[in-house]
Amino acid sequence: MSGAPDRPALRRLSPEKVLGLAAVLGAAAFAVAVATGATARAWQAFHVNYLFWTGLGFSGVVLSAVFRVTDSRWGLAVRRLGECTAALVPLSLLLFLGVVAGYGSLAPDLHHLGPAKRLWLQPAFLLARDAGALALLAACALLYLYFSLRPDVGAARDAGGTPLGSLGAWLSRGWRGAADEARRSRRMTGILAPVLILVYCLVFTLLANDLVMGLDPTWTSTLFGAYFFITNLYAGWAALALAASLARLGDWRGLRATATTDVLHNLAKLLFAFCFLSMDFFWSQFLVIWYGNLPEETAFVLRRIRVEPWSDLAFAVLLFLFFVPFFALLFKRLKRDPRTLAILSLLVIAMLWLERFLLVAPSVWPHGGLPLGPLELGVTVGFAGLAGLAYLWLARRVPLAPAPEVVAAQAAEEAADG
C-alpha cells in the first residue's frame, strides 16, 4: 500500500536533520548565485542575514544579563532559554570572515568624501575594528555565560542525571559544591552583567554605523546606533517569548511547569514595551530628519519611503513590526495564550529581518526592482538552519531549569546581604 505516509520515516527526521538540511540548502543557494554571476546580490543577502542573526545571537545572553541586573525572580524560569542563543556567538565570529570576503561587493565609493571620513571608512580599517569589537563582546558574553551555567551544570552532575558530555565536564571542572559555586556565580555575574550590557550597546552602535550607515556614507544620524541595538533587543524578546511559548506547548525538557502563563504574560509585556520603545526611537529619528530637512539626512529616508519598490516594503514593516504587535499586545488574553504569543513573536522576528533588509539593500542595490526572491529566501533559510543547530546543540547539553539547591543558596546569600 502506498497511500499511507511512512510515519516511522517521518519521525526519523529529527529537528537537527531538518535544520542541517536548511543549512545545506542555504549554502547551495549562495553557491549557485555566485556561479551564475549574481555575486553582489549573494553577498548582499549574506550581509543582511549576518547583521540579523548576529544581533539575535548576542541579544539572548544580554537579556539574561538584564534579568541578573534587575534581580528578576520570574526570569529564572526562562533565562536559560535566552542564554542558549550564545551558541551563535562563535558562529558569528567565524561568519565575519564572510563579511570581510563580501565587503568589496558592497563598499561605497569614498572618493567624494573628506579625508577624515574617507580614512574612517577605509575597508581594511573598518573591518579590523569591527572584528576587534565583536571579539571583545564575544569574550564578555562567553565569560558571563560560563559563570551563569557552571552552578547548574555542576549540580546536575552531582544529582547523577543525564550525562552532559564534554561541555558539562569542562564547565564543572574543579567543582566546589553547590553553595560555594552559587556564591561565586552570583558575585561574578553581578560584575559581568552590567559590563556585558554596556559593551553590547557600544559594539552594536559601532556595527550599525560601520556595516549599515557606512554603506551610504553621505547619510548621518546620531541616533541610529541606539535604534539598532534597541531593535536587536526587540528581536531578542520576541525570540525568548517564542521559545517559552513553544516549550510550554510541547513541554520541552519539562519546561511546561516553569514556563507558566504568568511568565508568558511578563514576556509579552516586555515585548510590548520594546515594541513601543523601538517605535519611539524610530519616530524620534524620523522627526528630527524631517524637521531639519538636510540633504545628508533626508536622502537615506526618502529612498526608502518615497521610491518604489522600497516604499511598499517600508509601509509593510511599519505596519507589521510596530502597529500590529502594539495593538495586539494590549489585550491580556492574547499575552497569556502561548499560541497567539508564538505567532506574534514570529511576526516580529520576520519583520525585523525585513527591516534589516530595508536598511541595507537600497544603499547597495543599483538596479531596478526589489532584490527579494528565492536567493534571499535560500540564504536566510541557511542562516536559520545554522542558528537553530547551534541553539539546539547548547540547549541539549545544559540544564534549562535552575537547580533548586543553587537557587536556594543564592537566595540565602541575598538574604544575608540584606
pTM, entire model: 0.93
Task: Give the integer Cα–Cα distance in Å for 164 and 162.
Answer: 6
Average pLDDT over residues 193-214: 96
Task: Give the integer Cα–Cα distance in Å for 46 and 41.
Answer: 9
Task: Give the integer Cα–Cα distance in Å for 78 and 256.
Answer: 11
Number of Cβ atoms within 10 Å of the Cβ of 306: 11
pLDDT reading at 8 higher than 60:
no
Q: Is the peptide bond before 309 cis (omega within 30 degrees of 0)?
A: yes
| Cβ(50)–Cβ(99) below 8 Å | yes
Give the residue, 410 or 177, on which the prediction is more confident.
177
| Cβ(141)–Cβ(61) below 8 Å | yes
pLDDT reading at 143 higher than 90:
yes
Q: What is the pLDDT of residues 240-258, one digit of tens each?
A: 999 999 999 987 777 877 8
pLDDT band at 2 (very low <50, low <70, confident <90, very high): very low
pLDDT reading at 86 higher than 70:
yes
Task: Give the integer Cα–Cα distance in Å for 235 and 224.
Answer: 16
| Cβ(63)–Cβ(237) below 8 Å | yes
What confidence score (pLDDT) does residue 113 get? 84
Q: Which residue has the cell 541610529?
A: 224
Q: What is the pLDDT of residues 336-391, one digit of tens each?
A: 999 999 999 999 999 999 999 999 999 999 888 899 999 999 999 999 999 999 99
What confidence score (pLDDT) does residue 414 get? 64
Q: What is the pLDDT of residues 244-293, one digit of tens each?
A: 999 999 877 778 778 889 999 999 999 999 999 999 999 998 898 888 88
| C-alpha angle 229-233-237 in degrees, rounded to nearest 5 | 170
DSSP-assigned letters across all residues of 389-406: HHHHHHHTTS-SS--HHH
